[in-house]
Amino acid sequence: MKLLFDLFPVILFFFSYYKAHLLIAHTPIGQWIDPTQPAHIAATLVATSIAIIASFLQVGWYWMKHKRFEKMHLFSLGIISVLGGLTIYIGDPAFIQWKPTLLNWLFAVILTGSQLLVGKNLIKSMMGAQITLPEPVWNRLNWSWVIFFIISGLANLYVAFYYRTDLDAETRMNFWVSFKLFGLMGLTFVFAIGQAFYLSRHMQHHEEQ
């Protein structure tokens, strides 16, 4: 359930992108869209606007329920507000396409900086109350997430700007929108499963000692 809540803006971006023509035709949103724009540009502007609103709602709802902010939500809100705002103002999807990359790389920088500068393993801080692992395993776990976030950011850039450049702009944008939800989520799921197998092996080994 928390995963769906965390992905709330991304899911709304996906559905509003592919249903943008209905939103433009049957809601006041259509008054703000230039009818001469290509369909995928108009859809991107609609989806970006809705995703920004969804991010604000996500942060507000979490605060009302828990009386605190989730840092990941705040990071995502800040990035989508800036890059999404530029996308809407300039009318260029490239800005919003950078958002998953910058968010993943920000997480990589935070994990790296915390480990190297203050000696704090954030993965251990988040999971240490639930499981017990040897310190070298915690360190490997932390660095594996750093590498994963870097690779995820690179994958997003590749799909957004370099994959099948022979195709027309609308087809490539459609593919990126689908990859943003299903591709990146799939990569995260596969990585998390691999982590679970790795941790279970070391948890058993640690208990035997």
- 53-70 pLDDT, tens digit each: 999 999 999 999 989 998
> What residues contact residue 46 under an 8 Å CB cut-off, 6+ apart?
16, 17, 20, 23, 24, 29, 33
pLDDT score for 207? 47
pLDDT score of 147 more than 60: yes
**Considering only CA atoms, which of 78, 20, 25 is closest in space to residue 44?**
20
Of the CA atoms within 13 Å of residue 73, those in its CB half-sphere come to 22
d(CA 20, CA 37): 13
Q: What pLDDT band is residue 7 in, cutting at 50, 70 and 90?
A: confident
Mean pLDDT of the chain: 91
Are 142 and 114 a contacting pair, CB within 8 Å?
no
Other CB atoms within a 10 A radius of the CB of residue 100 amount to 25
pLDDT score of 139 more than 80: yes
Are 44 and 176 a contacting pair, CB within 8 Å?
no
Are 157 and 103 a contacting pair, CB within 8 Å?
no
pLDDT score of 137 more than 70: yes
**Considering only CA atoms, which of 186, 115, 184 is closest in space to residue 144?**
115
pLDDT score of 4 more than 70: yes
pLDDT score of 1 more than 80: no
Are 111 and 123 a contacting pair, CB within 8 Å?
yes
pLDDT score of 111 more than 90: yes
Residues 129-135 have a mean pLDDT of 80
pLDDT score for 208? 47
d(CA 37, CA 42): 6
**Considering only CA atoms, which of 199, 188, 84, 62 is closest in space to residue 138?**
199
Q: What are phi and psi of 131, to 5 degrees?
A: -135, 155
pLDDT score for 195? 87
